[in-house]
């Protein structure tokens, strides 16, 4: 059963969806040429946790920096 659900919209408004389980989580990366953002969601200690990272873009070295961790309440 899906614990996580992601939806991404493309250039023509079409959507692609993915699901993630409690045990596997889900991970998404959206980037431009010089910068991007990655969101990782997983379940830990009875709560959903979301980590947000700043990333390089398609033309970078791949360095990532954690910029926020959010924990769902409840």
| 65, 53 Cβ separation under 8 angstroms | yes
Task: Quick: pLDDT tens for 10-62.
Answer: 988 899 999 999 999 999 999 999 899 999 999 999 999 999 999 988 887 77
The structure's pTM equals: 0.86
Count of H helices and E strands in the chain? 0, 6
Q: What H or E segment, with its residue span, contains residue 45? A: none
């Amino acid at each position: 059963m899906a614990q996580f659900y992601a939806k991404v919209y493309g250039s023509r408004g079409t959507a692609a969806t993915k699901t993630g389980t409690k045990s596997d989580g889900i991970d998404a990366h959206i980037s431009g040429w010089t910068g991007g953002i990655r969101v990782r969601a997983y379940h830990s200690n009875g709560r959903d946790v979301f980590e947000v990272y700043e990333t390089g873009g398609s033309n970078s070295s791949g360095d990532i920096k954690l910029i926020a961790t959010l924990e769902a309440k409840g």
